[in-house]
Structure 1
Amino acid sequence: MSDNQNLLAEQRRALILDEVRRRGGVRVNELTRKLGVSDMTVRRDLDALARQGAVAKVHGGAVPVAEASTHEPGFEAKSGLEPTAKEDIARAAAELVVPGAAIALSGGTTTYALAHRLLDVPDLTVVTNSVRVADVFHSAQRTAGQRPGAATVVLTGGVRTPSDSLVGPVADQAIAALHFDLLFLGVHGISVEAGLSTPNLAEAETNRRLVQSARRVVVVADHTKWGTVGLSSFASLEQVDSLVTDAGLPGAARAEVSEHLRELVIAGGPATPADDA
């Protein structure tokens, strides 16, 4: 059977991952029929997902990785998951930022994607506890020089996590003294019951400070974060103004989100105010 050239490897792997999570496991021969690709292509995709830590390979197929609520993947492992969704979310979230705003970006691979989209927005003040996010702005300024309107970046101190965020008392104290117009918050998990959560206790406290210091809270999270619960909750859905996610979020989840948030933005689609849901 010839490979379906219209389906990119990244798209195939996202579909495979969704199927594994939904069904609790898949077989290679099932995926070849479903995707219309060769056995070898499916096995390469499973190898790639296994290297990212997204699935565990078993004889003849793959199953979900059993993760404890305290498991915190590193930045590189997370960056390989749902890249297209993250770019779509970043593009939609960037439209919420106006020139001259004071904004905050938490740690995470989706906020990292967003940072790249904000480089051309003039006169921003950017507060972040993410080493990776700060590097996006600093690298751009080193390359282009200190041009008029370049962002002013405030990087909090703190203890570095596996996802390259700075957390702990130093970060908390710095954030508590600041006030920003807009917070873009990446999350490990989001659900109606647990709200926003993370496997890192210190990061949970730092995220609480970020939420408290923001006039508007925007969560940027792809659809795979829905229903995931980390060890520590740090905000309820009622404390979130907007969720920017991708089209992979199921209809039932969209309805649940809209009951608790002021605004749901599906990247590539129109914003959905809760009153209209």
Structure 2
Amino acid sequence: MLPQERQDLIMKELYEYHSVKISELSSKLDVTRETIRKDLYELEEKGLIRKVHGGAVLNKANLETNYSSRKIVNEWEKRAIAKKAVEFVYDNDTIYIDYGTTALYFARELIMKKTGLTIVTNSLSLANELVEHSNFSIIIIGGNVRKNERSLYGPVANQTIANLYVDTGFFGIGALHPEVGYTNIHMGEAEVSRLMVQHSKRRVMMADYSKFGSIHMNKVAPIEEVDTLITDSKADAEMLKAIQEKARNVIVVEAEGGEGDE
């Protein structure tokens, strides 16, 4: 396993549990404790974590700005997935783009390759990017702001969605499992995604390999309800096969560049 792959997995553990122990990481990743210490040192240098006795915790500031930090986790996989997803967009379409870091890379691909789009989103980061760099028509659904994700949710968002229908919805996802389907951590965000799945003629999920096999509390959609899943070649083979047996269409892409990144 390459250093970047290990560090991606360490960050995934931290985002889920907020702390890690060197001894547990050494056993789980089958490397020496010294290797883990080196990984933690490099992550601390990037400002992502803070080392503590016997392990590490998320940088306190990172708890409020983890959206920015997560952009560098599995970056190359996210870019490859985003490039493929653009092939499902046609000029002058009306589309929905969910919150999340993969969605941001997807928006940047749209800016370079598409024209005349109307884009509905619940992501403030994505809306800012599109307003700054494109001539697309942008609709923000409104609602409560989740600060660390820069996303919108709640009754106002749900009421807006009730009156909106799009050609294609593009969704990032917190986790996917062949038995449970697509799930997210935050209840309000999951509800927005769930409603937009219902209000999209076509549904495209964008999920890198790190999302496979996990289950979060709030269900977004069953595997069978999504038209296309786009993932990368690092996805667990057994999980991928189980999902392919239920999914309508699964596309696996190869990441370009990076040293084992997403």
Give the TM-score of the pair, scaled to structure 2: 0.79
2:119 paired residue number: 126
Pick aligned residue for 2:223 from 237, 244, 254: 237
Partners of 1:256 and 1:73 lie apart in 2 by 35
Match of 1:87 among 55, 60, 79: 79
- The Cα offsets for residues 209-231 of structure 1, whole Å up to 9 and x where unpaired, read as 11110011111111101112222
Letter in 2 for 1:153: I
Q: 1:242 to 1:134 in 2, by over 3 A?
A: same
* Cα distance, 1:189–1:19 mapped onto 2, change above 3 Å: same
From 141, 149, 153, the equivalent of 2:138 is: 153
**C-alpha separation between the residues in 2 aligned to 1:167 and 1:18?**
28
Q: 1:228 matched to which residue of 2?
A: 214
- Tell me the alpha carbon deviations over residues 97-150 of structure 1, each in whole angstroms, 9 at most, x when there is no partner: 111111100000000110000013011111000001111111114xxxxxxxx3
* Amino acid in structure 2 at the alignment position of 1:194: V
Measure the CA separation in 1 of the matches of 2:177 and 2:48: 24
Distance 1:64 1:129, change over 3 A: same
Percent of aligned pairs with the same amino acid: 27
Give CA-to-partner distance per residue, 1:26-47, whole Å, 9 cap, x none: 27xx658xxxxxx6x8644323
Label 1:80 to 1:170 Cα distance change in 2 as closer, same or farther (>3 A).
Answer: same
Q: Distance in 2 between matches of 1:137 and 1:187?
A: 21
Distance in 2, matches of 1:152 and 1:180, equals 13
8 Å Cα contact 1:25/1:63 also seen in 2: no
For the 8 Å contact 1:24–1:64, the answer to whether it is kept is: no
Contact 1:127 1:154 in 2 (8 A): yes
Task: Please say if 1:182 is aligned against 2:205.
Answer: no
Name the CA distance, whole Å, in 2 between partners of 1:186 and 1:98: 20
Q: Looking at CA atoms only, which structure, 1 or 2, has the larger radius of gyration?
A: 1
The match for 2:133 is 140
Judged with a 3 Å threshold, the aligned counterparts in structure 2 of structure 1 residues 56 and 225 are, in CA distance, closer, same or farther, namely farther
Give the 3 Å change call, closer, same or farther, for CA 26–205 of structure 1 in structure 2: same
2:40 counterpart (46, 64, 75): 46
Q: Which residue of 1 aligns with 2:258?
A: none
In structure 2, the partner of 1:26 is 26
CA contact (8 A) 1:187 1:198 kept: yes
Cα displacement (A) at 1:167: 0.4
Question: Which structure ranks higher in relative contact order (CA pairs < 8 Å, sequence separation ≥ 6)?
Answer: 2
- Which of 99, 113, 121 pairs up with 1:107? 99
CA RMSD, 1 decimal = 3.3
CA distance in 1, matches of 2:108, 2:184: 24
Deviation at 1:15, TM superposition (A): 4.0
- 1:258 maps to 244
Q: How far apart, in 2, do the equivalents of 1:110 and 1:116 lie?
A: 10
Q: Distance in 2 between matches of 1:159 and 1:101?
A: 27
Query: Aligned partners of 2:181 and 2:106: how far apart in 1?
Result: 22
- Using the TM superposition, give the Cα deviation of residue 176 of structure 1 relative to its aligned residue in structure 2, in angstroms: 1.7
Long gaps (5+) in structure 2: 14-22, 256-262
Q: How far did 1:196 drift?
A: 1.3
Matched, 1:13 2:4: yes
Alpha carbons 1:102, 1:125 under 8 Å: kept: yes
CA contact (8 A) 1:125 1:151 kept: yes
1:74 offset after TM fit, Å?
3.2
* Count of residues in Structure 1 that have an aligned counterpart in Structure 2: 237
